[in-house]
Amino acid sequence: MKVLIPGALRSYTRLSQVEAFGSTLDGLFDDLERRYPGLRFRVVDEQRLLRPNMRIFVNGLGVRELQHPLQPDDFVAVVLALSGG
């Protein structure tokens, strides 16, 4: 499936969009980690939860659960949430 990578993480992939595989978001991030070491840790914390500043969209729908099922033709966007004050 196609995965959109935010600018802050492109130092890992060197690309704005990559292909990856997985039947769940967790599996997808495992595949991305194999291809681009260090990327998963920037998105998923030690408790296997999405980091608070990360947003994941599957076909435009916001998702927070790493067990969310995926289909091979899904489009996944990894988005870095803006914060500040």
Total-model pTM: 0.91
DSSP 36: S
Q: Which CATH number fits domain 2-80: 3.90.1150.10, 3.40.50.2000, 3.30.1360.70, 3.10.20.30?
A: 3.10.20.30
What's the pLDDT tens digit per position in 24-68? Answer: 999 999 999 999 999 999 999 999 999 999 999 999 999 999 999
The pLDDT value recorded for residue 17 is 98
Read off the DSSP letter of residue 83. -
The answer to whether 6 and 78 are in contact (CB under 8 A) is yes
82 pLDDT higher than 90: no
Whether the Cβ atoms of residue 4 and residue 77 lie closer than 8 Å to each other: yes
The strand pairing partners of 54, in sequence order, are: 80
Phi and psi at residue 77, in whole multiples of 5°? -110, 125
